[in-house]
Chain A
Amino acid sequence: MLKVQSLTFTHAASNLPAVIDANFELEPGRALLVTGPSGGGKSTLLSLLAGLAPGFLKGKLTGSIVLDGRSPQDPGLWAENVGLMTQNPESQFLAGSVLDEIYLTLRCRGKTGPQAQQAAEERLSALGISDIRDQSVFKLSEGQKQKVILAALTALKPKVLLLDEPSANLDPEALVSLSQTLKMLVSEGLSLIIADHRLAWLRPVCQDILVLNNGQTVYRGGFSPLEDDNFRSHLGLRAVTLSSFDNLPKAPMGSGPGVWVDNLTFSYRGGPPILEDLNLRVDYDKVTAVVGPSGRGKTTVARVMCGLEKPQSGRVVFQDAPLKEAYGTVVLQNTDHQLYMPKVSSEIDLALAPGKKSRPTPTPKALEILEAYGLCHLADRHPQSLSGGEKQRLAVAVGLARPTKLLVLDEPTSGLDGLNLKLMSNQINLAAQRGTAVMVITHDSELVNLAANQVFDMGPSPS
């Protein structure tokens, strides 16, 4: 049994504790959902449970974590029993290819070569990703990366499994499948802790709920209070039922007022075609949601439309746009590479006037934009010191600060709570109203319903 007592943690660079006096017990065969507003301490709690503090996560740690009489003091033994999938699965890869990653994970835990290879192949098959077994981990979609890490973790059969935002990049079908896999593992005696904003898919999995707000436990108990709209809206939580977007019109094809792709075919070097004769139009003044399973080529379409990849055949047309404005901006999922400046406000100022000498104080326009994204209080912070959700909002604000004919947002709400989801969808709608063709690549049905005017379904996975 996992016992957490009076657990408090303060990051080395902060005066305020990120987790305050957390207390709970988790028996084998139980699943606990940890939710709450962005920045509430969910990821920190999971890192503490994984034994990463104070070795990797620097700061002051008090209280205790005990699993079957053992504490995280012995990292080797702890890692054997507790598996963690972080918010950014790419950061967890040690090997360079998919099969190698799972194989290596199993070898680290003492499996012999043939045992490890057999177990790795079995897990890949169980998660439906055998077709990517030899691919480089750097070439995978975010959803595929998550599945690979999950395959590696579940192959180890740990006593406690910690999942941080596992739904962030998974399509609805993959979520149902994951939900079933987790239910099965829990029924076999696994203790499961999931930190997530998307609640609907977790209802059949988790029996216990822990709501964290500013590090404090504000609720501990069963799922039922989450059904209460007032309770959820008070804490900025997301919906507990899956919303359908079947009533939204389909995105048009062919020429028209917008950015359109005409019979696009694309494959990465030496690989099978990812896109074949694709036709799609992203209208100006509208938000077009692009949906489909992980690895289907959604991000690849965006990369081709924004000129990062050259198609083998077909073309991208910016209808009625002068040549010098005929380009798109894409806000990618990993925002770390897209933020350069020493201050949050300077990022916006750089986007507003690239090449102009940076100013010691932010411009009024920059502050106005930061205000709209709820980031004004962070204007003087270093962008790399922000939380994942804050970085995401800043990257979108930067993308929208400079007028562009096409704006592509790749999973812009993957780590956002209900409140920030609404804020983001408002800004996306405002951008479209200013005449930009906005394309949102997402698995988040709540975002599609809140922001999109039309939907383009990439269709089932070719495999």
Chain B
Amino acid sequence: MPGLSRKFRSSATNRLNLAPETRLLLTFLASLFSLIFSSGLSLGILALVSAVYMLLEVRPKAVIIVYLAFAVMAAIALSCLKIISLFVPVMREQPLSAAFLPFVRMSISLNVILPLALNSKLSELANTLGRLKFPGIIKLPLIITIRFIPTFFNDLQLLREAVAIRFRGLSGPLFWLRHPLLLWRVFFMPLVVRLIRSADDLAIAAELKGLSASTDFGGGKILLANSDKIALCLTTISISMAYMAGQLSAL
């Protein structure tokens, strides 16, 4: 049903008007080449281009929230690395850039997954994965994982509101600076509980709907608009540039 695919292309959030097939392909290519490239320059170019793509597709508020969470995670990981290096001398000899490269790779994946998760309707994705003949064992976890991202944002928003209400009149930055453990308790603990519960809920929702690895969403032709073709051309050019930059920097 190519016609249906067009009809279900969401317009409110899909600013670049890309087909889900294109978004999936961009996500796949960016993630693949972030693993293949080892040069910092190549990865930097990919990170930059993917960040531009994300900023064109996703609301700045969502980007800020995700990158704040990402920064906290990176800071914790780097701190742990620093502590380990005190006891393992060989780690001290590693250049600093080596510690950062995994985070650049992660940020590339993040930049392409966010537009896919926040701008795609689940039925679009299911239809697309059906058209692309993805095996059920990949299709089902992929659908649930992608659906988990907007749920995470919703939980975060509800939690922020609940904390704002409960600590009204107290919750200035100074209060939280004086009570960091309470901040951890009231914000991160419920978030963890909610995320576990949301994952369970999504699994039950899929079960109750009869969505399984063998569910067939049918096929149909893949139709690409001009915007999709331009996006794919730009992706190819960006990957080539990143590759060449990597080669030049190695000379």
Residues in A lying within 8 Å of B, measured CB to CB: 50, 52, 55-56, 75-76, 79-80, 83-84, 91-97, 100, 103-105, 107-110, 112-114, 117, 134, 138, 270, 306-308, 324-325, 327, 329-330, 332, 334, 336-341, 351, 354-355, 384, 398
Contacts and interface: CB of A to CB of B under 8 A. Distances in A.
22 contacts: A55-B207, A56-B207, A75-B212, A76-B212, A76-B214, A79-B208, A79-B209, A79-B210, A94-B206, A95-B122, A96-B122, A96-B147, A100-B123, A107-B126, A109-B210, A113-B127, A308-B164, A327-B168, A336-B193, A338-B165, A340-B190, A384-B193
A113 B220 CA distance: 10
B82 interface: no
Nearest to B158: A337
Given A76-B210, A95-B122, A308-B164, 14 more contacts: A56-B204, A76-B214, A79-B207, A79-B208, A94-B211, A96-B122, A97-B10, A100-B8, A104-B122, A107-B217, A109-B210, A113-B1, A134-B12, A336-B194
A139 B127 CA distance: 25
B210 A92 contact: no
Contact of B201 (A80, A91, A308): A91
Nearest to B203: A56
B207 A103 contact: no
User: What are the 6 closest A-B residue pairs judged by CB atoms, nearest first?
Assistant: A79-B210, A91-B201, A113-B1, A113-B4, A95-B122, A337-B162
Given A100-B123, A341-B185, A355 B178 contact: yes
A339 B163 CA distance: 10
Nearest to B188: A340
Interface string B95-139: 000000000000000000000000001110011000000000000
Contact of B197 (A109, A336, A341): A336
Contact of B122 (A94, A117, A308, A351): A94
Given A108-B211, A114-B4, A338 B166 contact: yes
A308 B158 CA distance: 11
Contacts of A103: 123
Of the four ranges (under 10, 10 to 19, 20 to 34, 35 or more), the interface on chain B belongs to: 35 or more
Nearest to A308: B161
Nearest to A347: B166
Contacts of A339: 190
B141 interface: no
Nearest to A57: B204
Nearest to B150: A96
Q: Which of B123, B170, B206, B209 has the most CB of A within 10 A?
A: B123
Interface string B193-226: 1100100111111111111101111101000000
B175 interface: yes
B141 to A, nearest CB: 14
B159 interface: yes
Contact of A329 (B165, B207, B212): B165
Contacts of B179: 355
Nearest to B7: A117
Contacts of B218: 112-113
B78 interface: no
Interface of B: 1, 4, 7-8, 10, 12, 121-123, 126-127, 147, 150, 154-155, 158-159, 161-162, 164-170, 175, 178-179, 182, 185-186, 189-190, 193-194, 197, 200-212, 214-218, 220
Contacts of A138: 150, 154
A94 B170 contact: no
A351 B166 contact: yes
A329 B167 CA distance: 10
B118 to A, nearest CB: 9
A103 B8 CA distance: 11
Q: Which of A113, A324, A334, A339 has the most CB of B within 10 A?
A: A113
Contacts of B190: 336-337, 339-340
A105 B207 CA distance: 11
Given A91-B201, A113-B127, A354-B170, A334 B158 contact: yes
B36 to A, nearest CB: 32
Nearest to B185: A340
B148 to A, nearest CB: 11
Contacts of B200: 56
Nearest to A138: B154
Contact of B216 (A92, A110, A307): A110
Nearest to B214: A76
